[in-house]
Structure 1
């Protein structure tokens, strides 16, 4: 049954993406730019998330929405735990501001999906040219934040297996420091039901926990990212304790106890 449901949901996404992508491309031909096109993309993502709930039995429980900046002109850099495609689709659906993803340019070649996102206010980079790529992120990031668009990044860079931790890269905190925007750490347990690179999905709940804003003013990229990493990984253990091994017993204490000292 899980296989059949997964096939149906994949077909649902594949069929529905076509008219929405065409609407975005037609909009650009007619001179439409910015938020109106984003709303079209967001509507399709909402269909995908609704389809996941109805067909796959996957639903999200979100906590910490009150931690998001409330002002219409307040910027933010969202740094999100990345376990599956689910949170990529979910974040624009639940966030009160338009989002701009930082993504590798290869995605632009994906039929319909890539063609559409290439026409949105997103930041696509060439990972083979790191310096130029980051300069582009900073420049476009400043412009987008000034428009009230939040930047979203996955600091581990790729989807990570359940219970594992990737290498947290400092691109997001460097951008935050350069723009003065706060960072918002977000923990997501999507791999419980939608594992990395898995075709078959399982019904269940994805917990999304939004942390309090962390100021980037006067910070260093490395130590700011260490704070983000510590919060996210601690929150992941709280939300999904079954995925993480129990802490090892204190070796020194055990040795003392066995020696009778």
Structure 2
């Protein structure tokens, strides 16, 4: 059954995404925010398919923690699910992503047509400058910015090194950081064709204010909350408590 569901999903994903990508190319002349609104209408369609074909639903914890204005979201990254779902959960947003993603046929072409933050990860320190420069522009435009601080998808129960780029952007832009924990990787694993039904819990933490706090400390606070929340909500993935966490 999981194989059949996943196969149907793959077919529907292609049938929906390819026309949207071509549409995104055709509306290149429209203002950026108009393109963003039109192209991201793809999201609720895909979320409906994910729920009703794959059987993956979600529940939000801590929605009241969202600040009124734009913020930098520092999120756990386990699968492709959150790259779609966060666009439905939060106000209009964009992602920090690798330039290579924009070269992916159809999906990447659509991403290239909406305001985002595409960086050259091989540029070293210049990559951070790209995040800050482009990120401040997006925040001023009214978009939230999502950063996956671990840099890549990490399997459930694992923790990658939290890079400070998102915290530095928030500090320079003067906007709060919103930490997010979730368990999407339980049902949609990295590079896995077969997805499994279940409920993703998305926990939104209290906003971390940046005034008077150094970027490294902001990053540490976000990591501490996310990793403690992961262990609180999903203890079955962790054999030992997070270093420095309160039990």
Give TM class, smaller chain: over 0.9
2:72 aligns with: 77
| Aligned residue pair count | 242
Structure 2 equivalent of residue 237 of structure 1: 231
User: In structure 2, how many angstroms separate the alpha carbons of the residues matched to 1:65 and 1:201?
Assistant: 26
- Give TM-score, length-normalised by structure 1: 0.89
Q: Specify the structure having the higher radius of gyration (Cα).
A: 1
SS in 2 for 1:16: helix
How far apart, in 2, do the equivalents of 1:43 and 1:115 lie? 15
- Name which of 197, 202, 205 aligns with 1:208: 202
Residue by residue over 1:145-183, the C-alpha shift from the partner in whole angstroms, topping out at 9 and shown as x without a partner, is 111111110000000011111111101101111111110
Q: List gaps (5 residues or longer) in structure 1.
A: 249-261
What SS class does the counterpart of residue 191 from structure 1 fall into? helix
CA contact (8 A) 1:63 1:208 kept: yes
User: Which segments of 5 or more consecutive residues in structure 2 lack a partner in the other structure?
Assistant: 243-247
Moved more, 166-175 or 192-201: 192-201
For 1:20 and 1:107, how far apart are their aligned partners in 2? 16
Residue number among 47, 50, 55 corresponding to 1:49 in the alignment: 47
Q: Are residue 196 (structure 1) and residue 187 (structure 2) matched? A: no
Offset of residue 132 of structure 1: 2.1
TM-score when normalising by structure 2: 0.94
Match of 2:109 in 1: 115
Number of the residue aligned with 2:176? 182
Partner residue in 2 for 1:21: 21
CA separation of 1:198/1:217 partners in 2, compared to 1, >3 Å: closer, same or farther? same
Cα shift readout 1:4-23 (whole Å, capped 9, x = no counterpart): 11111111111100111122
In 2, distance between residues paired with 1:205 and 1:11? 23
Give 1:154's aligned residue.
Answer: 148
Question: Shift of the alpha carbon at 1:130?
Answer: 2.1
Runs of 4+ residues deviating >3 angstroms: none
| Alpha-carbon distance between aligned partners in 1 of 2:65 and 2:241, rounded to the nearest angstrom | 30
Deviation at 1:226, TM superposition (A): 1.1
> 1:142 and 1:185 mapped to 2: Cα distance?
19
- Cα distance in 2 for partners of 1:237, 1:199 equals 27
Shift of 1:238: 1.5
Distance 1:247 1:116 in 2: 41
In structure 1, C-alpha distance between the alignment counterparts of 2:83 and 2:241, rounded to whole Å: 31
RMSD: 1.4
Other-structure match for 1:259: none
Matches within 5 A, 1:27-106: 27-28=27-28, 31-70=29-68, 74-95=69-90, 97-106=91-100
Deviation at 1:184, TM superposition (A): 0.2
Secondary structure in 1 matching 2:161: coil
Is the Cα–Cα contact under 8 Å of residues 64 and 211 in structure 1 kept in the other structure? yes
The residue that corresponds to 1:133 in the other structure is: 127
